[in-house]
Amino acid sequence: MESINRYVVTATMVFIVFSCKNSKKTATGYQGQGPSPIVSTVSKPVQKQWKGIWSFADSTTFFSNDFESGRLNGLTDDDNDHYTALITAENTPINVSPWYAFKVWTKFPRTVTIKMTYQDSRSRYYPKISKDGYNFMPLDSANFKPINPGQGEYGIKAAPEFVEITIPIDEKPTWVTAQELYGSTRVKQWVDSLSVLRFVKNYEIGKSKENRAIHLLEVGNTNTKKAIMVISRQHPPEVTGFLAMKSFVETLCSDTPQAIAFREKYTMFISPLMNPDGVDNGHWRHNMGGVDLNRDWEQFNQPETSSIRDFLNLKSEENYVFDFGIDFHSTWDDIYYPLDSTVTKKKGEIVFEWIKNIGQRLPSKKTNISASKNLRPTMVSRNYFFVNHNMPAIVFELGDNTPRPFLKLKGQVAAEELMKLLMK
Ligand SMILES: [Zn+2]
């Protein structure tokens, strides 16, 4: 108990996805957000983005948002290869996660400068650059100029109001994106690549508002009724959480003796892309119902959350027992959002044991824990998993800027340590 209590921080949190106005900055790393209000999850109108190609400089320079996850809502030509880009949200109110993704190219090689503006929001995501839409690198810092920079380390106040980016362009498109692109097509390619393994299946468990598939990966090759549940990407821009989830799942699917033995005892159910409409439409946060899906685990007004609810109910009827649930997200820095052990009692201790073990394997990055003492309303997936299916559950958050090799390592270590604990 001693070691468990040491990790239970005092902050009481009802809800978990960051809300910048409440974020606290300290010298000891990101401390998490304060409670979020209860909101209705009845569908609201969404501004569908105009998609197409903008043409400038006597039809020699072009911008496009016409691809999966593209977002660019307007452009002005300020002369001399300077442009102002307007990035707007699908609807409001919405939190500060202005996603953007566009391509730019020209007939005559040149250098363009783009001022990025975000309506009432600020610049959260450091630009990523790609020449093929698959491999991304952060923009060279020499080509990045914050305008009206923020103060502090975390949250909206720490973000610049605008940024100006300078990029050399040529006939071959250059992608400029908030994070790496993982739209539904690329995610499906990954799902299919895993599904060639004899112990992996994938199937649809529902459809999104715009009729995209909600895919479920089932990993394991036994008749066991012991299971874990993993979900990811309720919030479209949270690619770093997705990347950690990807590594986590690949580790469960690997051919190590540990993973092989684990798959004899456990079935893993994974929904890697909970919000395919939001992701493919380049949304900042919501689904096509204009709703934050991670507020809908009590009301179930949206098809994406309802598909997981129905799936879990079906599995419960089939006598599956869930021993762990993880929901991967991204925020200002790595942080764990478990339920406090004072409310989960003995059942939830494994979560803290697991966090401790991951920390011991990865001492280079101290990661805070912000535990919630409130179980109801369930509203968020973690609470729903625990209250309705009795599974120890956590929101596993990765930083927007956490180095990608570390994300991969953390996903792997998290899987290995979970397998170790559950096989005890
Ligand atoms: Zn999130």
pLDDT along the chain (424 residues), means of 10: 32 32 56 84 97 96 98 97 98 95 98 96 97 98 96 90 98 98 98 98 98 98 92 98 98 98 98 98 98 98 98 97 98 97 96 98 95 94 98 98 98 98 96
Q: What is the structure's pLDDT at 272? A: 98
Tokens read off for 151: 């103060």
Name the nearest CA neighbour of 20 among 71, 106, 95: 95
Q: What is the structure's pLDDT at 36? A: 76
Neighbouring residues of 384: CB distance < 8 A, sequence distance ≥ 6: 297, 298, 309, 378
Q: What is the structure's pLDDT at 27? A: 52
317 is catalytic: no
Dihedral angle computed from the Cα positions of residues 256, 262, 264 and 267, in that order, rounded to the nearest 10 degrees = -120
Indicate the fold that domain 2-40+182-422 takes in CATH.
Aminopeptidase (3.40.630)
Indicate the CATH number for domain 53-87+100-177: 2.60.40.3120
Cα–Cα distance for residue pair 72/266, rounded to 1 Å: 44
Distance 313 CA to ligand 1 centre (A): 24
What residue ranges of the chain are covered by domains with CATH 3.40.630.10?
2-40+182-422
Distance 59 CA to ligand 1 centre (A): 40
Which DSSP string corresponds to 149-176? ---SSSSGGGS-SEEEEEEEE-SS-EEE
Q: What is the structure's pLDDT at 28? A: 78
Q: What is the structure's pLDDT at 7? A: 32
Rg (CA), the chain: 21
What residue ranges of the chain are covered by domains with CATH 2.60.40.3120?
53-87+100-177
Element (H, E) at 261: helix 257-265
Distance 234 CA to ligand 1 centre (A): 6
Q: Do 106 and 61 meet the contact criterion of CB atoms below 8 Å apart?
A: yes
Distance 292 CA to ligand 1 centre (A): 9
Distance 270 CA to ligand 1 centre (A): 17
Distance 17 CA to ligand 1 centre (A): 5
- All residues with CB under 5 Å from ion ligand 1: 17, 235, 238, 329
Catalytic: which of 90, 238, 353, 397?
397
